[in-house]
Amino acid sequence: MNLETDVTPLPDLMLQAFDKALDLMLIMEANFDDVGDSKIIYANQAVSKTLGYSNAEIVGNSPRMFQGNQTDKMTRMEIRVSLKQKKPLHSKILNFTKDGEPIWLEINIIPLENDQGEVTHFFATERVCSQD
């Protein structure tokens, strides 16, 4: 093996892993004026497959697009507070597919920092789960 020619660069492998992952993965720009309105800049294939939206419909919107009237207000508040405080979060949320079907998701959201230690983005992984 020739390391100079046979090794796939790590960023390429990471992007491939994210795109093909079974869990839903989102990266959002941090908007501290309204953290709930942080815009999605990346969504992997599992987001489209699970929720029924095309990537073009997802990117540029906030995750609020997946919520509905039955999405728990306390859970939404818990998420906003955690993001505003730049803290990781683990929770469950009732979201909805493009067709309006309810779907429970176990979510993990972490803040991402730039070289100066400032939170610039949020990374979310989500997995379909039961209500319990």
DSSP of 51-107, one letter per residue? H---HHHHTTS-GGGG--TTS-HHHHHHHHHHHHTT--EEEEEEEE-TT--EEEEEE
* pLDDT given for residue 6 in this prediction: 62
* pLDDT given for residue 132 in this prediction: 75
* pLDDT given for residue 70 in this prediction: 97
* pLDDT given for residue 1 in this prediction: 41
Mean pLDDT of the chain: 94
* pLDDT tens, N- to C-terminus, the chain (132 residues): 444 556 678 889 999 999 999 999 999 999 999 998 999 999 999 999 999 999 999 999 999 999 999 999 999 999 999 999 999 999 999 999 999 999 999 999 999 999 999 999 999 999 999 987
> In total, how many domains does the chain have?
1
Which structural domain range is residue 110 located in? 3-128
* pLDDT given for residue 5 in this prediction: 55
CATH number at residue 24: 3.30.450.20
**Residue 23, CA distances (Å) to 40, 71, 105 in order:** 16, 20, 10
Non-local (6+) Cβ contacts of 129 within 8 A are 92, 104, 105, 106
